[in-house]
Structure 1
Amino acid sequence: MSEAYAAARVHVRAPGKLNVFFEVGDVQPDGYHDVASAYQAVSLYEDVWAEPSDDFTIAVSGSVDVSGVPADDRNLAVRAARLVAQRIGHTGGVHLDIVKHVPVAGGMGGGSADAAAALVACDALWGADLGSAELHRLAARLGADVPFALMGGTAIGVGRGDQLSPALAKGRVDWVLVPSGDGLSTPEVYAHLDRLRSSHDVPAGADAPEVDPRVLQALRGGDATALAEHIRNDLQAAALSLKPDLREALEVGEASGALAGIVSGSGPTLAFLAADAESALELQVTLSAAGYEALHVHGPVPGARVVG
């Protein structure tokens, strides 16, 4: 790689995600869970700007509460930048400006989107040209959701969720999101699911999780009504147990015209599936009038991409 920079400043945008279907297996001896997920990237984005620096530094702002986001080496985006530098032998650093719009600790993979954006931005900034396969390999070292934030679209994830294969999806799917002011810790939600299962309050996990083929069929056919019948999230029971107030919001959304409502990932963001864009706008207005913050998004959208 040349020591000359390929660009003076690089802007990358990466999407948040929804788990349209999420089956969680029983806890493994190493404390992790095998999962099967149908991911969909949606039009709520993280923006990352990368520019040359002598060190690895970061600034975080956004339209969501970022007070809990680390602005040091604990940040996944900084770890991503260091991985690229290590991989190509780059001796300098990078400054990352992150502008967040995906709810923090909201079950939509915002931190993973930041990391994916940082991988793409540093690859472009330093003229590394690592290629998609190598970026995905690096992404998998950072966390299960980072490879999907790179890929975008609609995909099936198995194993720890990072073994991805694209899924055919026809047309546009409209969602209305209701974020929560307080985030949920993903490890805490998984641990609570294990407790609920051990006390038999919820069914045990599958030995070999898999995505319901009816979900894939609905996505292929662009059939929101059919999709609503089969969306599922095994983490939902744990999230609702930890934040009981989410139940009321779910009930309000489902009674206000949503085809279905679901906790997004480990929560606490709620995602309501709408029949079409017009129905989503009506649902957004109704939920806003009821006192909830409501965002209209759609999917699928592309993964992390250089802007401009």
Structure 2
Amino acid sequence: MSTAFYPIGTPGHAWGAPEKAQWLARQTVRRSYAAEVLTKIDALRGRFDVVTYGELDYASGAYPLLAIRSRDWDDALPVALVTGGVHGYETSGVQGALQFVDRHAAGYAGRCNLLVAPCVSPWGYERIQRWNALALDPNRNFTAGSPAPESAALMALVQPLAERFLMHIDLHETTDSDEGEFRPALAARDGKPFEADSVPDGFYLCADSLNPQPEFQQAVIAAVAKVTHIAPPDAQGRIIGSPVVAHGVIEYPLKALGLCAGITGARYTTTTEVYPDSPRATPAQCDDAQVAAVRGGLEYALAQR
């Protein structure tokens, strides 16, 4: 166990409203959701349907929440969900989802219906931030009556399609800032000690411990390994504190933890984790790895129908 100084709050005491307001005042816009995401979605409207499934209304501004759907939607076909940007700072999840739609989604016409929510947390995207404006992690709040509006809106989008999802892949990153900023902030917010961990160098997956589907996970790993390297376990046989159960795979109870990949009840689910700070990976490689993960997962899932 170690301690880490965080400039907000008192060690051992959870944040109240004043500390959260202090944290919020420190957040600044560092990039544009409109320029980097909405313009790319607009460019897809000629080939795909785009739906507005909600709007965030924070004091700093409003953000439309958009999803992309297969144009020739066929209720006889299974549905595959791709989500990105649940953590706004995880860039390749957003850009990888958009790249997948632009370059590859049309190839699945007649095989499955695609639903893609490329940027679930646009406030966080603009601020390169893990949390939303309420100092909540959307990826721990996919729960009934969620206090995170990003999470609640996405759950409302997928609910009418319950029981029809074949696959859900949620695109994420693990970054050096997890250890330098976000995990220390979490410990400070909750009044708990910060316990340092290592950041794995490479791509890995988080499967559902209650529905692991190991062959599916390895199909995704095999597809990504053609693009970038897979994270090895640490000296204790772990990745981010969890036992490695197969090459590049750890497991969490997705639904119990309120994680995005647990919202559909799909047969095949996984959370990707790309490491953009690796000296062995470029931003383009990270985007390509997310695309490879989606395609590898889809090809496996569709072959098992």
TM-score, shorter chain, exceeding 0.5: no
Q: Which has the higher strand share?
A: 1
User: Which structure carries more relative contact order (alpha carbon 8 Å, separation 6+)?
Assistant: 1
Give the TM-score normalised by structure 1.
0.27
